[in-house]
Amino acid sequence: MYRRLLTTIMFLKNGETHISGIKNEHNVIEFLNADTNAITVHLKKKHGDEIQVKHKGGTTSVDDAIVVGPDDVKYAGISIKNHKSGTHDWTNTSKIPNKDVIKDLFKEYKDKYPNLDAAEFAEKEKTLRGERDAIVNTYLRDLSGGYIKDMLTNLYEGYSDYVIMNDMKSEQYICYEKNTRNFKEFVGFPTWDYYLKFAKAQNSAMIWRKNQETNEDACTNLRLRITLNNGLNAFFGLSANNKTSIPCLKLQQDSVDKHMASLEGAISVSYKKESSADADSKVDSKADSKAEAKDEM
């Protein structure tokens, strides 16, 4: 039986994305605490004027930040996301179902290459990656629709109270609440059956749902992916930065712009800073206006 995926774990090859993510979290928190904006006004309306946003993070918390009162008691949790293009993760966890099964498959795979060195890895890399992907594909095909539905439901129930997205393209922070309308694909279709549909990529599959009464199919734009958290080099002990690499499950949001457009009650705030040229232009404009006013006197 599926157990709640409440832990968001960032597994990266060189730490750059993790560091970028942490920096984004602190930037958002600083913005919320230092500036009077529509998001802060909304949070204060919901939780009181004396609230403060604090960084949380860590591998044991789904919240990246928390809203606290003067007594330092948590009022709400915030999940902070950074988006420029592609997908974003809802969860990235090593707590996966039938873990022993996939663990044994990867052990058997690794044992085929007991003395693999960097030169042999480079020579056989395409084959090695193909074998890895075949293991992942076999594992994904064994996941039941019941597991997928339970995963989505439990993820929703344990998720943060708010999501704040850094939309880097528009240079806006977009805040929305966790509710059944904004997480419709997670909990909005309890009578539908869920299944995976595979395309060309072997290490991921799109989650679809089907209404058995009407035979209607719909794509959720949610993708399941299995990865090795530190990459294939580390898996074979060939990485200078990481000594191990284990299977992890990701739930990713595809078509992020479409998802954001569907949100109800979302609050958008621009954080775009004026360029020095724009600022100088405004100063010059004000000076010209003052000069014109004097001429008219």
Q: Domain boundaries in the chain?
A: 16-296
Phi, psi dihedrals of residue 40, rounded to the nearest 5°: -60, -40
Q: Look up the pTM and report it.
A: 0.82
Q: Which of these, 173, 153, 186, 3, lies nearest to 78 by C-alpha position?
A: 173
Least confident segment among 88-97, 121-130, 214-223, 231-240: 88-97
Residue 227 CA to residue 203 CA, distance in Å, equals: 7
Residue 28 CA to residue 18 CA, distance in Å, equals: 15
Task: Identify the band that residue 21 occupies on the pLDDT scale cut at 50, 70 and 90.
Answer: low
Question: pLDDT by residue (tens digit) across 132-147?
Answer: 999 999 999 999 999 9
Q: What pLDDT sits at residue 291?
A: 46
Q: Would you call 136 exposed, middle or buried from its count of C-beta atoms within 10 A (0-12, 13-18, 19+)? A: buried
Q: What pLDDT sits at residue 59?
A: 66
Question: pLDDT by residue (tens digit) across 74-112?
Answer: 999 999 999 988 889 999 999 998 899 999 999 999 999
Task: Identify the band that residue 292 occupies on the pLDDT scale cut at 50, 70 and 90.
Answer: very low
